[in-house]
Each structure stands twice: as structure tokens, then as C-alpha cells.
Amino acid sequence: MTGASSGIGRETAIQCSKLGANVIITARNVDRLKETLSLLNGNGHEMIIADLTDQEDVERLVRTVNGLNGAVLCAGKGMTSPFAFSSRDKYDAVFDVNFFAPVELLRLFIKQKKLEKHASVVFLSSIGGVELFTPGNGVYGASKAALNSTMKYCAKELAPKKIRVNAVNPGMVNTGMIQDGRFTEEQLALNMEKYPLKRYGEPLDIALGVVYLLSDASSWVTGHSLVIDGGITVK
């Protein structure tokens, strides 16, 4: 479970542990990852500190794990930038975290046979750039659109190995990503009113969708983008 030090990643790890899974959590922040570990039910869980934008860390992480029945690729980075100001360095910074890091990790998992037969892989994507196109969100949206596309190719190519690959596409969720100063409280309140259910999601709302895709309840689901968005993309 990547991105497990906070938000959706942390909540997903907690929910998986409640269902009896042995969870391997990874992130860059030692203190926050230790906090996540302390919140997990049961024993047998592991934490691995790794920066997924560092190839050496990624390779070390892959060497450390074996026999995975599931993988949740949850680390993410947000950015708001009008297109005219979206220089190559901004695209690189976002794509490194949102696209290249999870894709390379999954590639190595497959190449080094770290996933068990019938394993389930879940990418944490977004409705941004796939279902909803908001001005100023193009860099972030492009990274998530690329992730969704890659998910479908992986689902096709890994199906003969009985490995399922899906994505969860959330709308706005109450995590640190939307509370990083990019938006004022007034902007968030106005945006929330656009949601038919009149609220943003909570990490638990998304975590339960991830759990479904990890579980045998979704054993005939692959190549699917599960939208969990409070109705904002209803046309």
C-alpha cells in the first residue's frame, strides 16, 4: 500500500487490516507512517520507508516484498496551474508522483513475479481529466488520464495471469491534498455546493471502494474505473 501515511492510503490500510489482511505500508514520512502502523488491527503488518520517485528506493521496496495478493497504488500529488503557466517542470513534478512512480512499481512487481495468481491491483486515480475537466487542473488531470489509460492496458495484458487491475476515481475528498493552501475555504464551500450530495467525500468512502476491488466480491471485474464522486459527474 503506497501513500499510506495519510488520507485515503491510511484509511484503506486500516480497513484492510480490519478484514484480516496482513498489510505492507509504504511512504516517505517516517513519523506519519509509524502512526498509520499503530492504527492497524492485528499483527504481522510491515512498514517500509521509500520515496517512489527514487529508482533505488523503488527497487529496494520490490526486493523486500514477496507473494502479494493485492497492491494499492495510492501516492499522489496535486497541482493547480492555468495551462499558459504549466511549464514542463510542473508536468514532470506531477507525473513523477502520479504516473511514473506507480506504473514503474507495478512493472517491477510483474517482472519480478511479486504478485500471486489472482492478485488484485488498484490504482488511485481521479475523476479529474477523465470525467471532469476543471480550468487550472490540466497538469493533474493529464497525469490521472494517463494512469487510467495504463490501467486498462495492464488489465488486458495481465488477465492471462489472472491478475486484475482496476482504478478508483474519486471526486474531491477531505484530505490534506485539498487543504494545502491552493483553495480558500470560500472556494471549497462553493465547489461543494456543486455536488448533488452536498458534501465532499471522506477517506472512508474511497477506502471501501478499494476494499471491494481488492476482494473476491469483484473477482469478475478488471479494467474498470470505479467512480466515487458524490454524483458530481452525473450528466
Q: What's the CATH number where 105 sits?
A: 3.40.50.720
| Residues 118 and 171 sit within 8 Å (Cβ to Cβ) | no
Q: What would the grid cell of residue 124 be?
A: 488511485
What's the total number of domains in the chain? 1
pTM reported for the whole predicted model: 0.94
pLDDT at 235 over 90: no
Q: Minimal CA–CA distance to 173: which of 110, 126, 122? A: 126
Cβ proximity of 104 and 115 under 8 Å: no
Is position 94 within any domain? yes
In eight-state DSSP terms, residue 201 is B
The predicted-structure confidence for 33-46, as pLDDT tens digits, reads as follows 999 999 999 999 99
Q: What's the sign of the alpha-carbon dihedral 26, 74, 60, 90? A: negative
22 is a domain residue: no
Question: Which residues on neighbouring strands pair with residue 71, listed in sequence order?
Answer: 121
Q: Indicate which residues carry an active-site annotation.
A: 140
Considering the domain boundaries, does residue 21 fall inside one?
no
Q: Residue 12 falls within a domain, yes or no?
A: no
Quote the cell numbers at residue 41.
488491527
Amino acid at 162: K
Q: What Å distances lie between residue 233 and 132, 196, 216, 224, CA to CA? A: 7, 9, 28, 16
Structural domain contains residue 25: no
Q: Is residue 183 part of a domain?
A: yes
Which residue segment(s) compose the domain that 121 sits in? 46-228
**What's residue 180's pLDDT?**
64
Question: Is 26 inside any structural domain?
Answer: no
CB atoms within 10 A of CB 76: 24
Please tell me the predicted confidence (pLDDT) of residue 185.
84
Instruction: Supply the pLDDT for residue 149.
Output: 97
**Predicted local confidence at residue 179, as pLDDT:** 67
pLDDT band at 21 (very low <50, low <70, confident <90, very high): very high
